[in-house]
Amino acid sequence: MCLRPKDPQWNQALDDNVASQGPQGLSLRLGGMRVKSAIYAADRGRFTRSRSRLVSRLSEAGIEDERVLEAMGTVPRHTLIPEVLWGEAYKDQALPIGEGQTISAPGIVARMTQALALTGDERVLEIGTGSGYQAAVLSGLVASVVSVERIPQLAHEARKNLDTLQVTNVTIHEGDGTCGWPSSGPYDRILVTAGGPELPEPVLLQLKVGGALVGPFGPRDAQQLLRVVRQDQKRFSQQTLGACNFVDLIGEHGWAA
C-alpha cells in the first residue's frame, strides 16, 4: 500500500519573496526562480557562454519552445553536480550525482519539458528529484512543483541546491515516487524522471482531466518516452516520443530495489 511518509524539515516550501538587496548582492527574480547576483557574477566569465552554446545546440536539435530554451540557458547546471565534473556540465550527457543516480542530459530535460506543453499556471508533480536540475528548470516555467525523491540524501542535497538558487516554488518530499503525492494533487502535469516497467497507476490517477504526463517506460533495454493525456475520468491517450535510457524507477509500482 502506498503510504505518505512524514515530511522532513526541508520539505517546506520557501516564502515567495520579492527581489531584495542584501549582503550577498541583489536577488534577481527569473520567472519562478530567484538567483543571487553574486552567483551570476562569479559564474558569468566561465559558464555563461557554455550555457549559450548549449541553448544553440538544443535549438538546432528541435527544441522550439522559447520559454524552455530560456530556462535551459538560465539554470546553472554545474552547481547541481560534483565540482570535479563542472567541466562536463554543459555537454549533452548524463552525469553521476551519487547514490547510483544521475543528472539527466540537458537534451532530454529540454525534450521532456517541451513535451509537457507548459503555459505558466500549472501545478506539476515530478517523480525523482535527483539533484534538483529538472525541478530548477520547471520552477521558472510553472506556478509550482511538487517533487518526490526516494533517496533521503539526494532529497536533502536537492533542497540545499534549490535553496542556493533561491528557488521558491518547489516543494521536495522524501518517499516512494511510484505512489505519487496525492495530498497535493490533482496535478496539471506530471513528469517522471526514471524508467519504470509500466505507467504507475497511482501516479496516473493523480493527473487532472486534460492534463499530461511525460516519462520513460518499458523494458530496461527498450524504454520509450511516452506522453499520456487524461481525456476524462476513465480514458487516457498515449503518444510515443522515441527511445530513451533512464535509471530505474524503483518503488511499489516500479522496479524492485
What radius of gyration, in Å, describes the C-alpha atoms of the chain?
17
Q: How far is it, in rounded angstroms, from Cα 158 to Cα 192? A: 16
Please count the other Cβ atoms lying within 10 Å of the Cβ belonging to residue 92: 14
Q: How far is it, in rounded angstroms, from Cα 199 to Cα 93? A: 25
Q: Residue 69: CB partners within 8 Å, gap ≥ 6? A: 55, 58, 59, 63, 110
Q: Give the CA distances from residue 154 to residues 99, 128, 132, 157, in Å, rounded to whole numbers and listed in that order.
A: 8, 10, 9, 5
Q: Give the CA distances from residue 192 to residues 16, 104, 164, 175, in Å, rounded to whole numbers and listed in that order.
A: 26, 12, 24, 14
Q: How far is it, in rounded angstroms, from Cα 26 to Cα 37? A: 5
Q: Give the CA distances from residue 94 to residues 11, 84, 91, 104, in Å, rounded to whole numbers and listed in that order.
A: 26, 15, 9, 5
DSSP secondary structure string, 129-151?
-TTSHHHHHHHTTSSEEEEEES-
Residue 105 · residue 86 · CB < 8 Å: no
Q: How far is it, in rounded angstroms, from Cα 151 to Cα 33? A: 24
Active site residues: 104
